[in-house]
Structure 1
Amino acid sequence: MAPAFALTTAFTGRVTLGARPGASLCTAAPPATAALRMGYDMNGSGANTLVGRTIKSSGVEKDTRAFKVTFVLPSQSRLYTFRELQNVYTTKIVPFSSWYAEQQRIQKMGGKIMKVELASGSQMRSVGNS
């Protein structure tokens, strides 16, 4: 016995639901994956760029600055000595361009930043517009 309603799909993307062949109750749009194309990439370099405009990187060109960061992290092994958690003091050189991400990483691991020094490069002046 044939079902009362039949669902048919063609390669054109049209979906037809009907009581008998040829009778259409509703139609749906083509699948999104078939027709969806990205207009531009995040840096503006894909097809259909924004009229030659590209998104400028926030990093400073030829920036040689690096920070020497001293921070404390709780021990991964969670060893307890006289009811105190063992802390690990670490010093690391961090490039200026990735300083914010490194700061977030340290804080998310439960660490505390003790000292930040300029390890290489020269101090740049902030003009407030960049």
Structure 2
Amino acid sequence: MSKDLAGAMADFLRLLAEEVERNRSLAKRLAVPFEEFLAEVKEKGVKSRKKAKAEVPEGFDPFKVYYDKGSVGLYEALASFDAATLKAILTSFALDPSRSYTRLRKPEKLRDLIVEKVKAMGERGEAFRDL
């Protein structure tokens, strides 16, 4: 595009903008396509590029499962969850405050970590029970 053509287009757009500011009826007529576009966007909804956050399954409590079925039962209960759900469990129940699990990708390692942390929390204070 030549400089003359680019300059002419810029001048035209400036004049159009000034006229739209002065003339309300022209502004309303020119706004119709934009309003239709915005209405379509609202109807469809803006799709986010972010993945939906995984949530802890309704009613799942790793501590209850551990106390009822032990560590093997907890590991089996966790077997049906994907890595994102396992990370949500770790976050929701504050099993690893250091958030070292964020670098883990394999569900097996996340399951092992959950079982280890739940077991450690469940056995806290055991040394004082026999006194």
Q: Shared topology, TM-score over 0.5?
A: no
TM-score for the superposition, normalised by structure 2 = 0.24
Compare the two structures and name the one with the higher strand fraction: 1
TM-score for the superposition, normalised by structure 1 = 0.24
Compare the two structures and name the one with the higher helix fraction: 2
